[in-house]
Amino acid sequence: MLYAEKEFDHEAARQWTDSIKTVSLWLSAIYVILIFSGKRWMRSRSPFGLRFPLFLWSSVLSVFSILGSFHTVPELYNGLLNYGLTYTLCDCSFLRGSSGFWAFAFTLSKAYELGDTLFIVLRRQPLIFLHWYHHISVMIYCFYTYSDHVPWARWYIAMNYCVHSVMYTYYAARALRVRVPSFIRMLVTLLQIIQMTVGLVLSIYAFLIKRSGADCHPSYANLVAGMLLYISYLILFVHFFYEQYAAPVRKKSSDDKMPDTSLDEVKKLR
């Protein structure tokens, strides 16, 4: 266990996040202004290659996501196996200890992941709505959710870490022009769709548990916001999947012409 994990103070982290959560709104506004200004600025300029910086960026996020999965998935599995589904949706114990440290790191990482878009803009790749909408909405929601210590976030965090482990590893390989089976790119999108479907179902179930009068921590506002976000993500990812893999007639493009941050084009989660 890392020293930071052993010394992690989940209540201090919650209070700090609560004190700066509105920063996510300002950061989102600045992000949108910068990416569209940058897109306009790049119109008259040649695209940058940036393959090695992209490899380093993706590798850092890949390793981070793998470590996050290693620390959050076992906690979710043990809670589900020993205490049941309702426990995993209504108990906040995962926010303490090792899994708590990685839940906090996950929240902060959503601000860091905004940097994904820099590569898209500077390489003059398509910047689709799914990409930037997903980035800012996930970041804002994560900051507000963590500041409220929402227990069902353990599902979202564990799932997202797992998906990003595959996704950023794929991006790192593609940045080095490593030949990766084409089905991997489709798999990333499918994993995103599965993540959004599970997240939507669980948020509805948590809402019903709370309506029944059971002791379940999430606020109605957080649950409703979660459901609305998951619905929008699910629609957008299904549409993206259809356009890329199922549409009967579409303009073919190589992987090099596709955005290198497909979570958000395939994304991202984010």
Residue span of the structural domain in which 26 resides: 3-257
**Residue 214, CA atoms < 13 Å, CB-side half-sphere:** 14
Does a structural domain hold residue 253? yes
Residue 139 and residue 111 in contact, taking contact as beta carbons nearer than 8 Å: yes
Question: How many whole angstroms separate alpha carbon 189 and alpha carbon 237?
Answer: 7
R_g (Cα) of the chain, nearest Å: 19
End-to-end CA distance of the chain: 27
Read off the pLDDT band of 239 (50, 70, 90).
very high
Residues 139, 140, 142, 146, Cα dihedral to 10°? 140
Q: Report pTM.
A: 0.88
236 lies in a domain?
A: yes
Tracing tokens 């910047």 back to the chain, one arrives at 127
Q: Evaluate whether residue 263 is within a structural domain.
A: no
Indicate whether 82 belongs to any domain: yes
**Residues recognised as catalytic:** 134
Q: Does residue 220 form part of some domain?
A: yes
Of 134-138, 216-220, 233-237, the least confident: 216-220
Among the listed ranges 22-31, 83-92, 254-263, which one has the minimum average pLDDT value? 254-263
Q: What whole-number distance in Å separates Cα of residue 206 and Cα of residue 147? A: 19
143 found inside a domain? yes
- Extract the tokens encoding 226: 């979660």
pLDDT at res. 220: 85
Q: CA–CA separation, 262 vs 135, rounded Å?
A: 12
Instruction: Please indicate, yes or no, if residue 270 is contained in any of the structural domains.
Output: no
Number of domains in the chain: 1
Residue 266 lies in a domain: no
Q: In whole angstroms, what is the distance from residue 54 CA to residue 122 CA?
A: 11
